């Protein structure tokens, strides 16, 4: 089967339930760089389709569970050749529907390969079962799947973010229902088709559609025993409320407002500034743990602003498929309007706002959701542009007078996903990092690659609950089960204990 219909016009992301493609209504998917260009269509799933998908996953669960860790890992590995064969096709399609430049799409689209190899390696290493024999008897502790798992995917890094939940859920024996974003469903659907073809029918089910309809139906289903979600705080709160009624687990990554803290001794050379620029503007700033605000010692503020602005001025904004582009458009009109609104509010409050970079195609600028990068200075720490997750190509630069003040301002947020410290002394950077209230702290980097799969990834405060990467996500997808045989029962509590109380 194929989740991506291509035999009659543009491709369509379809509903897959138990190996069967269901007829659906569709909405168009447009190219953010040329919004008049139709890239494909996305099925609009219904609550009835969700119910059918969940029931199908529930029926398929026992057989998939009973295959065991190693057989499941082998079946997932069998999808690797086809994933590699389709990499270029999927990356190209991702740029056309999401907007980011091609290398960023390649990094996203090759995520399944890396995730499968990593977690299959953990299974090879013995994850999932411990046994203990001694004179008292035998104890077995094993990890068992939670059951039908809902995976709800955002539009910024749809393939990798789906697979960092999907692969651990599958390899630990859960069956899944995936809801792609209706904004960027096509490349993910192609990826899911490759995985579904390698596994038994009903193990991977896909229901694209709108969050208030498909997502809500999924998260309110009593037969869904785990929800793995990446997205906004309000939706995460709704998932938690539904989970409380159902006594069900959830793992939530809810975004961040991630600070970069520059210390007095930090280098401002070209390499450092280019690294920081990439940490801000990759994927047009639409990455949950990218740099969202920069704190600089007042004594170095002018020097830093000049160096950082010069580095950011090399950015070329254009169509992500044009090799001359180094930054693409924002994904959608709503996000563009939101970022422009925050920028206008900061300007109205007296902040200094500077546009940098250049337009690759000035004549075609209005055809897409394009926006030049902006660097904002002379801004108060309590301005909404500083306190909000902008999710766009805008970065505020805030000054501080003492390290204690800088740390306090970096921590003064409802979010706690990631942070970075920039210094000539990495050991000092790690020490300062221990003062920051985030799930991950990086020294002298803060971008894709800073957090690899050997490091647990997730947030504190309102940035979420749970962790991805490492065996931590395998634990999120399973329950510990203890089995015991005790030879000597004489030491168990009983009436004889009353004698000790007399």
Encode pLDDT of 104-133 as tens digits: 999 999 999 999 999 999 999 999 999 999
Question: Do 200 and 294 share a domain, yes or no?
Answer: no
**Per-residue confidence (pLDDT) for residue 204, from 0 to 100:** 98
d(CA 169, CA 478): 8
CA dist., res. 219 & res. 207, Å (int)? 13
Distances (CA, A) of 384 to 55, 342, 343, 481: 44, 7, 9, 47
Same domain, 100 and 175: yes
Region 320-347: mean pLDDT is: 98
- Quick one: 218 and 347 in the same domain? no
What average pLDDT does the structure give for the chain? 96
User: 135 with 167, same domain?
Assistant: yes
Domain containing residue 431: CATH number = 3.40.309.10
Q: Which of 97, 104, 238, 253 is catalytic?
A: 253
Give residue 4's pLDDT: 56
**Cα–Cα distances in Å, from 487 out to 136, 137, 349, 492?**
5, 5, 75, 11
Sheet of strand 478-486: strand arrangement: 129-134, 137-145, 478-486
- Residue among 388, 393, 380, 395 at smallest CA distance from 414: 388
pLDDT for 491 beyond 90? no
Catalytic site residue 253?
A: yes
Our measurement of the distance from residue 199's CA atom to the centroid of its chain's CA atoms, rounded to an integer in Å, reads: 24
- Is residue 448 assigned to a domain? no
Question: What are the beta bridge partners of residue 205?
Answer: 177
Q: What's 211's domain CATH number? A: 3.40.605.10
Q: Is 212 inside a domain boundary?
A: yes
Q: Which of 8-17, 182-191, 328-337, 366-375 has the lowest mean pLDDT?
A: 8-17
What is the sign, positive or negative, of the torsion defined by CA atoms of 83, 85, 87, 90?
negative
Going by pLDDT thresholds of 50, 70 and 90, the confidence category of residue 496 is confident
CA distance 34 to 319: 8
In a domain, 218, yes or no: yes
CA angle 329, 331, 335 (to 5 degrees): 105
User: Is 492 within a domain?
Assistant: no
Provide the pLDDT for residue 440.
98
Q: Does one domain contain both 198 and 336?
A: no
3-state helix vs strand vs coil in the chain, percent to 5: 40, 25, 35
Say yes or no to pLDDT of 35 above 80. yes
Give the integer Cα–Cα distance in Å for 258 and 166.
26
Residue 344's pLDDT is 98
pLDDT in tens, 235-246: 999 999 999 999
Per the structure, the count of domains in the chain is: 2
Question: Residue 285's domain spans which residues?
Answer: 258-443
In the chain, the percentage of residues whose pLDDT exceeds 90 is 95
Over residues 50-66, mean pLDDT: 98
Which tens digits make up the pLDDT trace of 1-22?
456 554 567 999 999 999 999 9
Q: Is residue 493 part of a domain?
A: no
Using alpha carbons, list the distances in angstroms from residue 177 to 10, 120, 374. Answer: 25, 21, 39
In this structure, are 251 and 262 located in the same domain? no
Phi, psi of 187 (to 5 degrees): -65, -35
Task: Tell me: do 297 and 274 sit in the same domain.
Answer: yes
142 assigned to some structural domain: yes
> Does residue 220 sit in the same domain as residue 275?
no
Contacts of 432 (CB under 8 A, 6+ apart): 261, 263, 403, 407, 421, 423
One domain, residues 290 and 171: no
Look at residue 452 and tell me if it is in a domain: no
In contact, 319 and 33? CB cutoff 8 Å: yes
User: Are both 245 and 353 inside the same structural domain?
Assistant: no
* 417 domain residue, yes or no: yes
Choice between 6 and 347, residue whose per-residue pLDDT is larger: 347
Residues 311 and 273 in one domain: yes
pLDDT for the residue numbered 65: 98
Same domain, 70 and 28: yes
Residue 297 φ/ψ, nearest 5 degrees: -60, 140
């Amino acid at each position: 089967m194929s989740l991506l219909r291509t035999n009659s016009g543009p491709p369509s992301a379809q509903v897959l339930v138990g190996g069967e493609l269901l007829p659906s209504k569709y909405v168009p998917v447009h190219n953010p760089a040329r919004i008049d260009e139709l890239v494909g269509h996305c099925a609009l799933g219904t609550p009835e389709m969700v119910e059918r998908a969940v029931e199908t996953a529930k029926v398929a669960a026992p057989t998939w569970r009973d295959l065991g860790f190693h057989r499941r890992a082998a079946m997932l590995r069998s999808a690797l050749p086809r994933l590699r064969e389709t990499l270029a096709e999927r990356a190209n399609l991702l740029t056309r529907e999401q907007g980011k430049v091609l290398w960023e799409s390649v990094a996203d689209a090759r995520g399944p390969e890396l995730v499968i190899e990593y977690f299959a390696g953990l299974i090879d290493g013995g994850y999932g079962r411990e046994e203990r024999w001694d004179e008292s008897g035998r104890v077995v502790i094993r990890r068992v799947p939670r059951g039908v798992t809902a995976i709800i995917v955002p539009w910024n890094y749809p393939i990798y973010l789906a697979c960092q939940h999907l692969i651990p859920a599958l390899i630990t024996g859960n069956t899944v229902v995936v809801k792609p974003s209706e904004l960027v469903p096509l490349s993910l659907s192609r990826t899911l088709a490759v995985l579904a073809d390698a596994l038994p029918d009903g193990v991977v089910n896909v229901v694209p559609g709108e969050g208030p309809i498909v997502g809500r139906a999924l998260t309110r289903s009593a037969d869904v025993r785990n929800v793995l979600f990446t997205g906004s705080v309000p939706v995460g709160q709704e998932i938690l409320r539904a989970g409380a009624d159902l006594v069900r687990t959830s793992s939530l990554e809810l975004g961040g407002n991630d600070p970069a803290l520059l210390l007095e001794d930090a280098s401002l050379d070209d390499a450092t500034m280019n690294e920081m620029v990439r940490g801000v503007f990759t994927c047009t700033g639409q990455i949950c743990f990218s740099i969202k605000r920069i704190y600089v010692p007042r004594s170095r503020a002018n020097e830093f602003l000049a160096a950082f602005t010069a580095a950011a001025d090399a950015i070329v904004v254009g169509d992500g498929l044009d090799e001359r582009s180094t930054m693409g458009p924002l994904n959608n009109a709503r996000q563009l309007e939101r970022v422009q609104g925050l920028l206008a509010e900061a300007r109205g409050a007296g902040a200094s706002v500077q546009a940098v970079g250049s337009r690759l195609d000035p004549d075609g600028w209005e055809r897409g959701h394009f926006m030049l990068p902006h660097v904002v200075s002379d801004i108060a720490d309590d301005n909404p542009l500083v306190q909000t997750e902008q999710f766009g190509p805008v970065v505020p630069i805030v000054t501080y007078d003492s390290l204690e003040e800088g740390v306090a301002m970096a921590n003064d947020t409802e979010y706690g996903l990631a942070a970075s410290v920039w210094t000539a002394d990495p050991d000092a950077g790690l020490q300062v990092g221990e003062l920051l209230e985030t799930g991950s702290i990086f020294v002298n980097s803060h971008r894709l690659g800073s957090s690899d799969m050997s490091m647990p990834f997730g947030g504190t405060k309102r940035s979420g609950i749970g962790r991805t990467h490492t065996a931590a996500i395998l634990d999120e997808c399973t329950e510990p089960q203890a089995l015991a045989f005790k030879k000597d029962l004489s030491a168990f509590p009983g009436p004889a204990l009353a004698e000790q109380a007399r």
